[in-house]
Structure 1
Amino acid sequence: MDVENFAIISTSNEEPSIDRKPQWIRVKLPTGKKYTELRNVVDRYNLHTICTSGSCPNMGECWGEGTATFMILGNICTRSCGFCGVKTGRPDSLDWEEPEKVARSIKLMGIKHAVLTSVDRDDLKDMGSIIWAETVRAVRRMNPQTTMETLIPDFQGVERNLNRLLQAAPEIISHNMETVRRLTREVRIQAKYDRSLQVLKFLKENGANRTKSGIMLGLGETEEEVIETLHDLKEAKVDIVTIGQYLQPTKQHLPVKKFITPEQFNKYKEIGMEIGFRHVESGALVRSSYRAQKHLL
């Protein structure tokens, strides 16, 4: 699954080391009337969003534009990816009322564009795809003006599970590659690089309006490998790409090998646009949901 991991701003003027966050990684303090209104609603009704639980630095900007991210299928993942801060283990039983709960939360918050994500549920025969589809339908019934992006697991590449999402027809279906081919086994232990590409291609070729994927940098990849991954995503007919900096959730997770400079992020954005993607978001604090509502344009 996609994880939002962030860092505190460094106040040093020295060149950043691996143990010191660089100046360009800044936590933005959320401000604005819309943010304050949504914050009050979230606190009053004890609503759960990735935005708040992950202390996202983009929260003020996204909430100000009416976008928020919700996680479904619990908070325990069946996979143990080296980059991910979500707890791994045996998940709790399903909450079949969750689709309606999420839909009500979106209505209470007045969200214009909702991003839905989830843990991996390899313990389930349908891998969670039924609740995924029901959640999209519930949100649409209760919030007919709200658009949606679904950031989904790979569902082990099983087409009937992917088809459930296609039939629910969210405006954007997203699945993250996370890293380059060489590092996939280390970074996404139970995932497969080519399977993720096949999932993205299947979605686009079978009716997805727009597809999207994201990668993290700073795990030891080379520029050539990043560019190769961008070409692979284009070959898989992906429309939108996000590129951000990996930040280590805890000392037990994979270490940061390098902090990518703003200039390099800009270079990748230019390369991605030249390759032909509809949108490329590239920057240290870019995450999958960053400027998500703009990807509908």
Structure 2
Amino acid sequence: MIDTTETVRPARIPEWMRRPIQTDVDYAETHATLKKNGLHTVCEDAKCPNRHECWNHGTATIMILGNVCTRDCRFCSIATGKPDGLDTEEPQRVAEAVETMKLKHVVITSVTRDDLPDGGAEIFAQTIMAIKTRMPEVTVEVLTPDFLGRKELLFKVLDAGPVVFNHNVETVKRLQRSIRSGATYERSLKILKHASEYGDGSIKVKTGIMLGLGETNEEVMECLQDIYDHGVRLLTIGQYMAPTRDHARTKRFVTPKEFTDFEDAAYKIGFEAVASGPLVRSSYRADNMVTA
């Protein structure tokens, strides 16, 4: 049984949130390849705690459409402002990097580009197709913004043939307005529902939420049910950690046991694959979920 009360934030970061930084030759080679091709990664820009583990294994989540976001979400460390144009050659450079790194599964994400008429959907599609043309055996996952809820833009991305479509709900319904700039709970669920109903249903639909923003466990369970009811079958649940003092405060540290309880509960709801843990992030071990 999951306790529905909100836990109290400890004074210090607990031991289960700490991990040693270890780098090897694959880490250096991955870093060099990405820099050589002028590419950004959400691993660095969003200060992901798993970037050393992933890079040591020669994998990365590549962030397209620049590194300046048009939204100012309270949880995210990516720079906010007015993006500088559009790099139409980026899809080919991404494909070259994927080939150089010999990836089997790649995650393509982006900043939100509300300044573009299509929200960057065309560049997403071109990037997917460039990778598939260059390395047909690579499976491609996308983690996209909400495209302001426009179904035709979502379908432009899905028409390119990713194996997984991911769009994050991020937090429970009550906290959306205070945490997510320019996004809504309903719009995100709508995008996920459209993705789940696309084509023959062969594209797997995924989302993720963070814990520790002030939600109750009861609200989390309601959120999981909403997500499932909108066609999502792959789920990530991780601990929110404030990137700086200017961001939303971390209000609680969820214990490893609670994460396990949520994982068990999600499987009981009907999710096909769940990654739930303090250091889990949207793309953590994403390749493992493809075969779920």
**TM-score, length basis structure 1:** 0.89
Cα distance, 1:139 vs structure 2: 1.2
Which residue of structure 1 aligns with residue 172 of structure 2? 180
Which of 46, 59, 68 is the equivalent residue of 2:60?
68
Which residue of structure 1 aligns with residue 214 of structure 2? 220
Does 52-61 or 85-94 show the bigger shift?
52-61
Change in Cα spacing, 1:296 to 1:66, as seen in structure 2 (3 Å) is farther
Change in Cα spacing, 1:64 to 1:276, as seen in structure 2 (3 Å) is farther
Percent of pairs identical after alignment? Answer: 48
Which of 96, 106, 117 is the equivalent residue of 2:88?
96
Partner deviation per Cα, 1:223-245 (whole Å, 9 max, x = no partner): 00000010001101101110001
Partner deviation per Cα, 1:102-129 (whole Å, 9 max, x = no partner): 1111111111111111111111111111
Number of aligned residue pairs: 282
- Counterparts in 2 of 1:225-240, with a 5 A limit? 225-240=219-234
Which of 220, 238, 246 is the equivalent residue of 1:244?
238
Extract unaligned runs of 5+ from structure 1. 1-15
Change in Cα spacing, 1:186 to 1:35, as seen in structure 2 (3 Å) is same
Check whether the contact 2:46–2:76 (CA below 8 A) recurs between aligned residues: no
RMSD: 1.9
Which residue of structure 1 aligns with residue 3 of structure 2? none
The yes-or-no answer on 1:166 pairing with 2:166 is no
Provide the rounded CA distance (Å) in 1 between the counterparts of 2:253 and 2:98: 35
Does 55-64 or 114-123 show the bigger shift?
55-64
The yes-or-no answer on 1:145 pairing with 2:137 is yes
Which residue of structure 2 aligns with residue 80 of structure 1? 72
- Counterparts in 2 of 1:1-297, with a 5 A limit? 18-31=10-23, 34-35=26-27, 37-39=29-31, 41-42=33-34, 48-54=40-46, 56-63=48-55, 65-207=57-199, 209-297=203-291
Provide the rounded CA distance (Å) in 1 between the counterparts of 2:20 and 2:135: 29
SS of 2:62's equivalent?
A: strand
Change in Cα spacing, 1:131 to 1:40, as seen in structure 2 (3 Å) is closer
SS of 1:285's equivalent?
A: coil
Provide the rounded CA distance (Å) in 2 between the counterparts of 1:213 and 1:54: 17
Cα distance, 1:171 vs structure 2: 0.6
Cα distance, 1:154 vs structure 2: 0.4
2:243 maps to amino acid: P
**TM-score, length basis structure 2:** 0.90
Partner deviation per Cα, 1:236-266 (whole Å, 9 max, x = no partner): 1101110001111111111011111111111
Provide the rounded CA distance (Å) in 2 between the counterparts of 1:77 and 1:44: 23
Provide the rounded CA distance (Å) in 1 between the counterparts of 2:282 and 2:256: 18
Cα distance, 1:291 vs structure 2: 1.1
SS of 2:88's equivalent?
A: coil
2:111 maps to amino acid: V
Check whether the contact 1:30–1:57 (CA below 8 A) recurs between aligned residues: no
Change in Cα spacing, 1:272 to 1:99, as seen in structure 2 (3 Å) is same
Provide the rounded CA distance (Å) in 2 between the counterparts of 1:92 and 1:120: 13
Provide the rounded CA distance (Å) in 2 between the counterparts of 1:278 and 1:113: 19
Provide the rounded CA distance (Å) in 1 between the counterparts of 2:27 and 2:184: 38
Does 140-149 or 129-138 show the bigger shift?
140-149
Provide the rounded CA distance (Å) in 2 between the counterparts of 1:224 and 1:256: 18
Provide the rounded CA distance (Å) in 2 between the counterparts of 1:28 and 1:57: 10
SS of 1:165's equivalent?
A: helix
Which residue of structure 1 aligns with residue 4 of structure 2? none
Extract unaligned runs of 5+ from structure 2. 1-7
Does 196-205 or 26-35 show the bigger shift?
26-35
Check whether the contact 1:67–1:115 (CA below 8 A) recurs between aligned residues: no
Which residue of structure 1 aligns with residue 5 of structure 2? none
Partner deviation per Cα, 1:172-206 (whole Å, 9 max, x = no partner): 00000000000000011311101101100100101
